[in-house]
Amino acid sequence: MNLRTPLPGVKSALRFGLFGFSRTRARIGRSAHPRRRSEDAVTPRKPTGSITLTDVARVAGVSVATASKALNNRDQVRAETRQRVLDAAASLSFTPNPFAKALNSSRTGTIGMLTSDLDNRFVLPVLLGAEDAFGAGSTSVLLCDARGDSIREQHHIKNLLAKRVDGIVILGRTTNSRPSITSTIPVPVVYAYAPSEDPADSSFTPDNAQAGVLAAGHLLDRGRRRIALINGEPSYAAARDRAAGVQQALTAAGLTLVGGDVLYGQWSESWGRQCAEELVNAHPDLDAIICASDQIARGALDHLRESGRRVPRDVAVVGFDNWDLLVEAARPPLSSIDMQLETLGRAAAEELSHAIRGGATPGVRRMPVRLVPRESSA
């Protein structure tokens, strides 16, 4: 991402370029001085010998107009031609001139992304997916972190609008719905991960109910019939939706949860360990545990191993989120539901591009998830 002027309060910036994703720190506070209006209105003189669009077109063997359309991801260009132009631009280290683009269009080619928690591990894959959609250096992205503070969020929105962004992606920290800000903003807005409370807005969130169905269905297909569910905090929509999906699948199979109830608690290994101990003691015939997060599952696996229960022979275990750091290091490796957050980020970015062109689609899109089977449920 190319920040002509550092945005006050921005924690970090993402560079979306031909060679993928990198993070750069943006200056904060006193050192961030806006450019004068007169400077913004004048296209800087190109240094002698700099790479131009004409050079890219020549190397790619296309016209200047075709090269421009390819770099701006226009639909009129065939995929192979676009790739040839992108390869030529990469080989020449060509960077489109944002000033010239702004003069040729009412759009600035700049998108704002506003997150509630940049340190949240669910945020990065969504941003990587957005990189794929915004693509090949043709769009600059300004990233702001509100840190869960609504006042800070409003401050960032004002600054993004001052930068003349073409649209904004609002990225939540959980899948709980959040208040809409669309009516107060003059540019298109798309909500990712945390859907908007307004059904007229465009939102993308993982299908956690489908995730629950997949987890339970996987165990049922392997002959498990005495299944328990260790869940996280009930205040989280993800916890409630995952439980609903599990119970839907069990009901369809004529079964109920071991113990009769969902075990709501914390998103922690200690909670998983505690519940696994209680379940094994109270229900010796237990043959499967669904854990609503990989952290919970790790705790459950630890207790099962320490108590002499063999996984998966005696008790199969499935988690959620497919967190690499946990699932591969688990003993045995943990089957888990992948929420496909990169796909979600890509879809949200593509929707924002459509909205900027006047083609917004209202409603909440619940994005598909997938099961990644490993040894814990084999």
pLDDT tens digits, residue range 167-211? 999 999 999 999 999 988 899 999 999 999 999 999 999 999 999
The helix-helix angle for 79-92 and 64-71 (nearest 10°) equals 90
pLDDT at 232 (0 to 100): 98
**Alpha carbon of residue 150 to chain centroid:** 21
Considering the domain architecture, whether residues 251 and 312 belong to the same structural domain is answered as yes
172 lies in the same domain as 310:
no
Look at residue 5 and tell me whether its pLDDT is greater than 50: no
In a domain, 253, yes or no: yes
Average pLDDT over residues 20-33: 34
Q: Quick one: 145 and 101 in the same domain?
A: yes
Question: What per-residue confidence (pLDDT) applies to 236?
Answer: 98
Residue 37 has pLDDT above 90, yes or no: no
Is there a single domain that holds both residue 297 and residue 321? yes
Domain presence at residue 92 = no
Residues 335, 357: one domain? no
Q: Do 195 and 227 belong together in one domain?
A: no
Is 185 in the same domain as 243? no
Would 4 be classed as within a structural domain?
no
* Phi, psi of 137, rounded to the nearest 5 degrees: 75, 5
Least confident of 39-48, 134-143, 323-332: 39-48
The yes-or-no verdict on residue 234 having pLDDT over 60 is yes
Query: Which two tokens mark 159?
Result: 């600054």
Strands 335-338 and 316-320: parallel
Looking at residue 108, its pLDDT comes to 86
CATH code of 247's domain: 3.40.50.2300
pLDDT at residue 72 above 90? no
From the list 209, 243, 191, the residue with the least C-alpha distance to 360 is: 191
Number of domains in the chain: 2
Q: Does pTM top 0.75 for this prediction?
A: no
Residue 50, domain member (yes or no)? no
Same domain, 351 and 321: no
Q: Are residues 147 and 197 in the same domain?
A: yes
Please state, for a pLDDT cut of 70, what percent of the chain lies above it: 82
Regarding whether 238 and 200 lie in a shared domain, the answer is no
Task: Single out the residue of 163, 159, 167, 169 nearest to residue 186, CA to CA.
Answer: 167
User: Is residue 57 domain-resident?
Assistant: no
* Structural domain span for residue 219: 208-339
In this structure, the answer to whether residues 129 and 192 fall within a common structural domain is yes
Domain membership flag for residue 69: no
Same domain, 163 and 241: no
pLDDT range class, residue 96, cuts 50, 70, 90: low
The CA distance from 326 to 315, in Å, is 19
Report if residue 75 sits inside a domain: no
The answer to whether residue 138 is domain-embedded is yes
Predicted confidence (pLDDT) per residue in 260-309, tens digit: 999 999 999 999 999 999 999 999 999 999 999 999 999 999 999 999 99
